[in-house]
Amino acid sequence: MSRPRLLFYVQHLLGIGHLRRAATLTRAIQAAGVDVTLVSGGSPIPGLNVGDAELVQLPPTRAGDPNFNALVDEAGREVDDEWRRRRTEMLLDTWRQRQPQVLMFEMFPFGRRQMRFEIIPLLQTAKAEPRPPVVLSSVRDVLVAKRKPERLEEMLETVEGYFDHVVIHGDPNLIRFDETFPPARRIADKLSYTGYVIDGEGKPKANGRDSVVVSAGSGAVGADLLRAAIAARPMTRARDATWHILAGITMRDEDFGGILGSAGPGIQVERARSDFQALLNDCRVSISQAGYNTMMDIVQAGCRAVVVPYASGEETEQTLRAHRLAEKGALHIVEEAALTPTKLAAAVDAALLGDGFSADGIDTSGAETTADLVRNWVGRAG
């Protein structure tokens, strides 16, 4: 008997956290007996681990600005209707060739509205099949606040019209979905919490605790945080440690070059590393933004941490998550608008005098629970 098939669509536009989480879920679902085709529409990421699953790369696009007002191609040109038509056809061809029993979309329709041009035709095609697939939305714990009521109504109508289930990768005991999506009760019968998704690929702790890890995720933003950390180092109790300054893979070359040029002895400046979790496992303190994946890496490592939530444009997601986790203790926050080397140094010293982060009471079974739900829904669909 052949294994069931799942097609998983993910589009990262600024950082690569969405793709990393999708890759972790892909490996878990594949291991649970469902063959996965991961379709990525963002910039290719070297070394992305999807296990035994298939990875299909669409013509890449990314956000042209922090407010996601325009889509640009890899050369930085704004995409046009012909580009959209070609990409839509490639996505539909991928669907036709795989004929999956499950179709899963990362963030849509709670995000990625810019991609409706290709997602809605795929949903319409899938739903018109004699035996339509199970359609899932895979969404993180916190949504960005929407100021327009019509956008909320559009999301609800899309879920009601096309989606069978919404899997929320969070713990309602920490953050409830309706806190950032107030009308969630209207689709309550479709919602399932999975717990937080943790990568699980980090190496065991060596307990050396001889470094400070400063990271800005794997995306294009975070240069100000990295510069502030370099300036803060001589003011901290960890001035004798090696500081690993990790820039995002897609950070602009001019920003990366400037950070590299400002680093003195004891500071190593690199692009984001594949062994990031192992570095966290053995660091004195982590300094980072507060994206979903980075926070889960900190939870897994149990390390001391200082976070500067990304809050540019309309972004509210990282701030809420950071403050909820800080309520559990052992997490120190410096707000982005108040970031200075002096304030960052003070937060680092406060973290060094405290305990590491504890995941006690936080559900971190997200990858395994998602795989179990998918396998169960496939079985019911027959």
pLDDT at 217 over 70: no
Which architecture does CATH list for 5-197+364-381?
3-Layer(aba) Sandwich (3.40)
pLDDT at 208 over 60: no
- Rounded Cα gap, residues 266 and 371, in angstroms: 43
**Whether 190 contacts 156, CB under 8 Å:** no
Tell me what the mean pLDDT of segment 344-363 comes to. Answer: 91
Q: What is the pLDDT of residue 312?
A: 74
pLDDT in tens, 158-185: 999 999 999 999 999 999 999 999 999 9
Q: DSSP label at 164?
A: S
**Where along the chain do the CATH 3.40.50.2000 domains lie?**
5-197+364-381, 211-352
Mean of the per-residue pLDDT values of the chain: 90
Tell me the whole-structure pTM to 2 decimals. Answer: 0.91
Given pLDDT bands bounded at 50, 70 and 90, which one contains residue 1? low
Least confident of 10-14, 78-82, 119-123: 10-14
pLDDT in tens, 291-312: 999 999 998 899 999 999 988 7
pLDDT in tens, 88-136: 999 999 999 999 999 999 999 999 999 999 999 999 999 999 999 999 9
- Rounded Cα gap, residues 370 and 14, in angstroms: 25
Given pLDDT bands bounded at 50, 70 and 90, which one contains residue 221? low
pLDDT at 201 over 70: no
Q: What is the pLDDT of residue 239?
A: 95
CA dihedral 307, 311, 316, 320 (to 10 degrees): 20
Name which of 163, 123, 157 is nearest 139 in CA terms. 163
Q: Which two tokens stand for residue 51?
A: 């296990």
Q: Which two tokens stand for residue 94?
A: 């991928």
CATH number belonging to the domain at 211-352, selected among 3.40.50.2000, 3.30.2390.10, 3.30.420.250, 1.10.10.10: 3.40.50.2000
